[in-house]
Amino acid sequence: MLLDADIIFAGSVAPAQHGTSRVIPRTAEITLVECLTSEQAIIKVERNLQERMIPDTFSNKNILITGGLGFIGANLAIRLVELGAQVTLVDSLIPEYGGNLFNVEPVKDRVTINIADVRDEFSMDYLVRGRDFLFNLAGQTSHLDSMRDPYKDLDINCRAQLSILEACRKHNPGVKIVFASTRQIYGKPDYLPVDEKHLLHPTDVNGINKMAGEWYHILYNNVYGIRAVSLRLTNTYGPRMRVKDARQTFLGIWIKRLLDGEPIEIWGDGLQLRDFNYVDDVVDAMLLSAADERANGKIYNLGSDETINLKTLAEKIVVLYGQGTYSIIPFPPERQVIDIGDYYSDYSLIRARLGWAPKIKLNEGLRRTLAFYRKHKELYW
Ligand SMILES: NC(=O)c1ccc[n+]([C@@H]2O[C@H](COP(=O)([O-])OP(=O)(O)OC[C@H]3O[C@@H](n4cnc5c(N)ncnc54)[C@H](O)[C@@H]3O)[C@@H](O)[C@H]2O)c1
C-alpha cells in the first residue's frame, strides 16, 4: 500500500510488480496517490502517459479499419476521428453481419468509406498502401453460422487475413497492425480465469479460423517484421452492436427483446459465468496496443473483474430498464454442442505491460447501451 503522502516521481523505479521493477518514464506526471495498492498506482501513472501519448500518436495519421462499419470498428473510428486521424473504413456490409452505415453517423463527413470485401485481394493490395496503422477487425462473428457455412468463415477469418498480410508485406511493410482476436479460440476452459498460456482447443469452426488468423499476424511480425499485436476480446457490448439476432452476442438480442416487451431467453441453467467489456474500453486497448511498440508480436487477453452469471445479468438489465421478464429455457441442441460453459479472462498481462484495465463498470455500460437503443431502435431492429 502507498499512503496518502506517497509520491511517484517521474524517472523513479516503480514498486515491483510480478517480480520486476519498472522505470516510470520521465514524461510521467508526478502523481499524488491516495491509499492505492502499488499496482493501482502504476496503472494511474500509466494512464497519465496514455492520455498524453494517444493523441500524439494518431493525430494526422493515415488509418485503415477493416470491418469499420461494424460495432467495434465504428466506435474505434469515431474515437480516431476525435483524435485527429484520417480514417478510411473498408467494409462489405454483408447483411448478416454487424455493419451499419448509421454506426458512423457522428463522423460520416470526416471518414472515407470504401464498400469492399477483404476477400478481394486486388482491393486490399490497393487499400493498405500508405497507412500508418491498420486495425484489422473485419470478420464473420457468428459461431453457429461458422458451423452451417464453414467455408465462408474460412475465407473471411482465415484466408482473407493471410491476403491482407500479404498485401502489407508487398505494399506497406512499415504499417502497424492490431488484430481483433477472440476468447473463443480457447474453447471450453480447462481452468479459470483463462490466461494466455491456456491451451487453444476451439469448440467451433469460427474459433479455429480466428486462431489461424491471429497466428498469421504473429508470424508476419516475427518473420517479416510487420509489427502486429493480437487482442483476444471477451464479450464486448455497447452502442452500435448488432441486436437483430444472437449472431454477434446474445446480449444484443436480449436488449431487443427487452425493448420489444418480450421475455429475455436464457439458454441452459442461467448459471454460466461470463465477463464483459464495454466497447470504449476495448477501443482504449486497441489504441494503446497500436501506440506502444512493446506490444509488437504480443497476444493479450482483454477481460473484466466483474464476472457474472447469465441469470444475474438478465435480472440486472431488467432492473436497469425498469421493466421486463426473462425465462430460462433448454439450450437449442446445435448451440449446446459448441457451448464453452463458464468463461472469464485473466487480463493481468496487458494490465502489467501496457497499463490497460477496463474503466466502465457493467451497470454504467448497460445503462449507456440501453439509452442508445431506446433512442435509435428503428435503425437497428
Ligand atoms: N463483439 C465481440 O464480443 C467480439 C468478441 C471477440 C472478438 N471479436 C472480433 O472483433 C471484430 C469486430 O467484431 P464486431 O463485434 O464489431 O462485429 P461486427 O459484425 O459488428 O463487425 C465486423 C464487420 O466486418 C465486416 N465484414 C465481415 N466480413 C467482411 C468482409 N469479407 N469484407 C469486409 N468487411 C467484412 C462486417 O460487415 C462488419 O461490419 C471481429 O473480428 C470479431 O471476431 C468481437
How confident is the model over 353-364, as pLDDT tens digits?
999 999 999 999
DSSP category for residue 53: H
Q: Topology of domain 59-240+280-307+345-361, per CATH?
A: Rossmann fold (3.40.50)
Q: Is the CB of 274 under 6 A from ligand 1?
A: no
- Name the band, by pLDDT with cuts 50, 70 and 90, for residue 374: very high
Mean pLDDT of 118-140: 98
Contacts of 202 (CB under 8 A, 6+ apart): 184, 185, 186, 187, 208, 210, 211
Peptide bond into 193 cis (omega under 30): yes
Distance 70 CA to ligand 1 centre (A): 6
Q: Is the CB of 65 under 6 A from ligand 1?
A: no
| Protein residue with its CA nearest to atom 26 in ligand 1 | 138
* pLDDT at site 41: 53
Residue with cell 457451448: 339
* pLDDT at site 47: 66
* pLDDT at site 52: 61
Mean pLDDT of 315-327: 97
- Name the band, by pLDDT with cuts 50, 70 and 90, for residue 22: very low
* pLDDT at site 48: 55
Q: Given the DSSP bridges, would you call strands 7-8 and 31-32 parallel, antiparallel or unpaired?
A: antiparallel
Lowest-pLDDT choice from 49-63, 64-78, 135-149, 315-329: 49-63
Q: Which helix (H) or strand (E) holds 80?
A: helix 71-82
pLDDT, averaged across the chain? 89
| pLDDT tens per residue, range 26-50 | 333 333 334 455 566 556 656 655 6
Distance 6 CA to ligand 1 centre (A): 45
* pLDDT at site 39: 60
* pLDDT at site 45: 55
Question: Which of 97, 128, 164 maximizes ligand 1 atoms within 8 Å of its Cβ, making it the mutation to test the pocket?
Answer: 97
Domains of the chain, residue spans: 7-49, 59-240+280-307+345-361
Mean pLDDT of 259-280: 96
As a whole number of angstroms, the distance between CA 345 and CA 338 comes to: 19
* pLDDT at site 33: 36
Residue 10 has pLDDT above 80, yes or no: no
Question: Which of 64, 66, 72, 179 maximizes ligand 1 atoms within 8 Å of its Cβ, making it the mutation to test the pocket?
Answer: 72
Q: Is the CB of 239 under 6 A from ligand 1?
A: no
| pLDDT tens per residue, range 97-119 | 999 999 999 999 999 999 999 99
Q: Is the CB of 236 under 6 A from ligand 1?
A: yes
Q: Is the CB of 92 under 6 A from ligand 1?
A: yes
Q: Of ligand 1's atoms, which has the minimum distance to the CA of residue 160?
A: 31
Q: Is the CB of 115 under 6 A from ligand 1?
A: no
Q: Of ligand 1's atoms, which has the minimum distance to the CA of residue 97?
A: 19
Query: Coil, strand, or helix at residue 7?
Result: strand
* pLDDT at site 70: 98
Report whether 218 contacts 224 (CB < 8 A): no
Distance 338 CA to ligand 1 centre (A): 20
Q: Grid coordinates in use for 373? A: 437503443
Q: Is the CB of 380 under 6 A from ligand 1?
A: no
C-beta neighbour count of 10 within 10 angstroms: 16
Mean pLDDT of 283-307: 97
Residue 264 has pLDDT above 90, yes or no: yes
Residue 24 has pLDDT above 50, yes or no: no
* pLDDT at site 38: 54
Q: What amino acid occupies position 70?
A: G
Mean pLDDT of 332-360: 95
| Surface-to-core class of residue 374, CB atoms within 10 Å of its CB (0-12 exposed, 13-18 middle, 19+ buried) | exposed
Mean pLDDT of 188-203: 98
Helix 279-291 / helix 71-82 crossing angle, nearest 10 deg = 60
- Name the band, by pLDDT with cuts 50, 70 and 90, for residue 247: confident
Q: Regarding predicted confidence, which is higher, 248 or 16?
A: 248
* pLDDT at site 54: 78
Q: Is the CB of 93 under 6 A from ligand 1?
A: yes
